[in-house]
Chains A and B, each alone.
Chain A
């Protein structure tokens, strides 16, 4: 494998397999090395992927729906989202730490990770592809209103748009505003209105009419 590059030029065998993206080839090479050196096992990798893809926004939606019907729970969720998730029997993961922020008539939160793709995976599952895209990551902090408009959210100019850039160990989950016309709805029905996008802050929670259509 080893060769030097002293000013010579020679063709290389492609590292990737047919059609394999470079990042996938790199991940595969890393995995193979780690397994070969006994650092991890194939089973560990499989279990990790299995756990990750088994997470869905339904867990986050349960938290939000409970917060809508129970102000004391909402206060606990905003204070310590991890404890609140455990209270509902959800698994918030060991690390990173999940934190909740609330959208109101005065402030609208929008979550981004400008550095990579940090996301509350334990409670929302894997992030959507656009969340990891360079245009979203750069424009969310420079022109959040423009981004929101493209997602179909037109905010009143009086509403402050507050962007949260999850740069380190905290993962942010947005509690969207409770839609009008949902008074007295059972908690399970409310949870069905809480979409993934509304918990990232790029959408509002669905209206009962839209959800029924």
Chain B
């Protein structure tokens, strides 16, 4: 699954014990993909001495919080939204 700019996506609301880069205040939120940032090693495994491979696609996603807030979210935290 990969996403395109303009696509609506939902951030998974799942809990994750240990290091991860999905901020709590965006979990479960729906936003719009602004930009594909490329692929990067996975910090969730790299933080514990692993290679972080396979790389994960990273997206700049724009959310409405009363004002726009954009954050970089890894693909495995995103799902398609209506």
- Whether chain B is bound by chain A comes out as yes
Q: How far is the CA of A97 from the CA of B74 in the complex (A)?
A: 15
Q: Are A169 and B69 neighbours in the complex by a CB distance under 8 Å?
A: no
- Residue in chain B with minimal CB distance to A108: B67
Contact of A170 among B25, B43, B60 (CB under 8 A): B60
Give the residue of B65, B67, B68, B72 whose beta carbon is less than 8 angstroms from that of A167: B72
B9 in the interface, Cβ–Cβ < 8 Å?
no
- Those of A168-193 within 8 Å (CB) of chain B: 168-170
How far, in whole Å, are A167 and B27 apart by their CA atoms in the complex? 13
A169 to B69 Cα, complex, angstroms = 17
Are B72 and A170 in contact, with the CB atoms below 8 A?
yes
Question: What CA separation (Å) do A167 and B22 show in the bound complex?
Answer: 7
Max chain A C-beta neighbours (<10 A), residue from B21, B71, B73? B71
> Please, could you name 29 A-B residue pairs with CB atoms under 8 Å apart, sorted by A?
A114-B23, A114-B25, A141-B25, A141-B69, A145-B67, A160-B68, A161-B67, A161-B68, A162-B69, A163-B67, A163-B69, A163-B70, A164-B71, A165-B23, A165-B69, A165-B70, A166-B71, A167-B21, A167-B23, A168-B21, A168-B37, A168-B40, A168-B43, A168-B73, A168-B74, A169-B37, A169-B58, A170-B60, A170-B72
User: Interface on chain A toward B: helix, strand, loop, or mixed SS?
Assistant: mixed
Contact in complex: A163, B72 (CB < 8 Å): no
Min C-beta distance of A107 to chain B, whole Å: 9
In the complex, chain B residues whose CB is within 8 Å of the CB of A166: 71-72
Quick one: closest A residue to B40, CB to CB? A169
Most chain A CB neighbours (cut-off 10 Å) among B25, B68, B69, B70 = B69
Is there contact, CB below 8 Å, between A144 and B67? yes
B67 and A168 within 8 A (CB): no
B26: min CB distance to chain A, Å = 8
What chain B residues lie within 8 Å of A97 (beta carbons)?
37-38
In the complex, besides A114-B23, A168-B58, A170-B60, 17 extra interface pairs with C-beta distance below 8 angstroms are: A97-B37, A115-B21, A141-B65, A160-B67, A162-B67, A162-B69, A162-B70, A163-B67, A167-B71, A167-B72, A168-B37, A168-B40, A168-B43, A168-B72, A169-B40, A169-B72, A170-B72
- Tell whether A142 pairs with B22 under 8 Å between CB atoms, given A162-B70, A167-B72, A170-B60: no
**Bound CA–CA A141/B71 (angstroms):** 11
Of B22, B58, B65, B70, the residue contacting A164 (CB under 8 A) is B70
The 0/1 profile, CB within 8 Å of A marked 1, for residues 49-81 of chain B is 000000000101000010111111110000000
Name the contact of B73 in the complex, choosing from A114, A145, A167 (C-beta under 8 A): A167
Measured CA separation A170–B73 after assembly (Å): 11
- Find chain A residues with CB under 8 A from B23 CB: 114-115, 165, 167
